[in-house]
Amino acid sequence: MKILVINCGSSSLKYQLYNMDNNEVLAKGLVERIGIEGSNLQHTPAGKDKVVFEQPLANHDEAIKLVMEKLVDPECGVISDLSEINGVGHRVLHGSKYFTESCVVTDEVKEVVRKCFDLGPLHNPANLMGIEACEKLMPGVPNIAVFDTAFHQTMPPKAYMYALPYEYYEKYDVRRYGFHGTSHRYVSKRAIEMLGNPEHSKVITCHLGNGSSIAAVKDGKVIDTTMGLTPLAGFEMGTRCGDIDPAIVPYLMKKENLTPDEIDTIMNKKSGLLGLTGRSSDFRDAEEAMNNGDERAKLALDMFRYQIAKFIGAYYVALGGCDAIVFTAGIGENNGGHRAAICEYLECLGVKIDAEKNKLRGADIDFTGEGSKIKTFIIPTDEELMIAQDTMELLNK
Ligand code: AMP
């Protein structure tokens, strides 16, 4: 069975074509600058060099059409006909309270994705465009929607409600949803396997990338997570501020004469590591700057590590203990320095790490130290594979 996985952003599109018989990636790629001057497709067939195609792409229809052309191209293609693709799995950012798991796209599903545009204004319209483009270009091939929010839907009300007037929950569905659900699902499942599939498990998953979130997972189900109504909540990220005193919002709006959209942009695009350092949203740049004596970079990284440790402490209490802490995504998988610094805060919980194993990367790694009360794992996330597996499972039903 061959499954195409598509992740549409507002002006970008990532894809991977899987052979599900052996989970092999046959080709993957990225379309950038859709609808903007300089559109291009970077296509990498397995085992071959990346090829770049530059041509105007006015919308997601044209982008997906070009991807399909390249998938069957005699030179850089990996299949001989599009009919070989059995299904398409789409990442959809926001499923609100309506989706607790992945589902086959129907007119009703599309209507609900549309209903969630307000909650995911940058992603949901693009996700729907991707779905509709595939419907048009591959009629009869099922599309499956995999929601970033779905895995977090098991949270109890005490974790997902905000202490605002109740009517806003009733009228506008204002509550915590959580994101990166596909990643938290993938790594928590793997962590439970690494623990030996116990009947009961308490796992804290730290997805630390450009966007970051942490989830508390009890017996395979999320009971709390750091992101909220939107992915802005939680702790310091590349460009997002994470949790702040909500009164800062009206205070700054008044002081700087800002519109709601302007303050939203400041908190989402100009804050976090970028805002604190005034340099870059990339954690590698901040580390280099810190090593060269930049005090603000040091502050920003100290804050990042401290805030993560605080959430892990909170989730230790929420779970009533912890069997394993998992680190994943760009920073979590690659940066032993941050992992070690975070785990140092956790020594009071009995966490000890193996400094040598903490230097490893590129595989599932147990870097628990001798005598540690909690296991510490590095697990490279694979959201695309999870989407492909969900798609296959739904097609086989
Ligand atoms: P992601 O959003 O998961 O792709 O993660 C992107 C973030 O991971 C960026 O801030 C990168 O700087 C960071 N990252 C990737 N590789 C490393 C590394 N070796 N050390 C530190 N940070 C890294």
C-alpha–C-alpha distance, residues 211 and 213, integer Å: 7
User: How many CB atoms within 10 Å of residue 11?
Assistant: 17
Query: Is the pLDDT at 388 greater than 90, yes or no?
Result: yes
Among 140, 136, 144, 20, which Cα is nearest to 68's? 136
What pLDDT, on the 0 to 100 scale, is given for residue 190?
Answer: 98
What pLDDT, on the 0 to 100 scale, is given for residue 45?
Answer: 97
pLDDT tier, 127 (very low <50, low <70, confident <90, very high otherwise): very high
Ligand 1 centre distance from Cα of residue 329 (Å): 7
Q: What are phi and psi of 80, to 5 degrees?
A: -90, -20
Averaged pLDDT, 224-231: 96
User: Per-residue pLDDT tens for 297-351?
Assistant: 999 999 999 999 999 999 999 999 999 999 999 999 999 999 999 999 999 999 9
Query: How is residue 99 annotated by DSSP?
Result: -
Query: How is residue 369 annotated by DSSP?
Result: P
Bridge-partner residues for 42, per DSSP?
30, 52
Query: How is residue 345 annotated by DSSP?
Result: H
Q: Hey, what are 355's tokens? A: 């400094």
Query: Is the pLDDT at 121 greater than 90, yes or no?
Result: no
Ligand 1 centre distance from Cα of residue 298 (Å): 17
Please tell me whether residue 378 adopts helix, strand or coil conformation.
strand
Q: Are 160 and 175 in contact (CB under 8 A)?
A: yes
Averaged pLDDT, 227-231: 96
Q: Is 331 in the pocket of ligand 1 (CB under 6 A)?
A: yes
User: Per-residue pLDDT tens for 3-55?
Assistant: 999 999 888 999 999 999 999 999 999 999 999 999 999 999 999 999 999 99
Average pLDDT of the chain, as a whole number: 96
C-alpha–C-alpha distance, residues 213 and 201, integer Å: 20
Instruction: State the closest ligand 1 atom to the C-alpha of 285, by its place in the atom list counted from 1.
Output: 12
Write down the residue that tokens 């908190």 correspond to: 267
What pLDDT, on the 0 to 100 scale, is given for residue 218?
Answer: 98
Q: Hey, what are 179's tokens? A: 């994101």
Q: Whose CA is nearest to atom 23 of ligand 1?
A: 331
Ligand 1 centre distance from Cα of residue 337 (Å): 12
Q: Are 220 and 201 in contact (CB under 8 A)?
A: yes
Q: Is 15 in the pocket of ligand 1 (CB under 6 A)?
A: no
Ligand 1 centre distance from Cα of residue 96 (Å): 28
Query: How is residue 368 annotated by DSSP?
Result: B
What pLDDT, on the 0 to 100 scale, is given for residue 118?
Answer: 87
What pLDDT, on the 0 to 100 scale, is given for residue 120?
Answer: 86
Q: Is 144 in the pocket of ligand 1 (CB under 6 A)?
A: no
Please tell me whether residue 200 adopts helix, strand or coil conformation.
coil
Q: Are 152 and 225 in contact (CB under 8 A)?
A: yes
Q: Is 210 in the pocket of ligand 1 (CB under 6 A)?
A: yes
Is 323 one of the annotated active-site residues of the chain? no
Q: Hey, what are 200's tokens? A: 């009961």
Instruction: State the closest ligand 1 atom to the C-alpha of 207, by its place in the atom list counted from 1.
Output: 3
Using a 10 angstrom Cβ sphere, with 0-12 exposed, 13-18 middle and 19 or more buried, the burial of residue 193 is exposed
Of 109-123, 151-165, 353-367, the one with minimum mean pLDDT is: 109-123
C-alpha–C-alpha distance, residues 210 and 198, integer Å: 32
What pLDDT, on the 0 to 100 scale, is given for residue 34?
Answer: 93
Catalytic residue among 21, 118, 148, 264: 148
Residues contacting residue 219 through CB under 8 Å, at least 6 positions apart: 200, 201
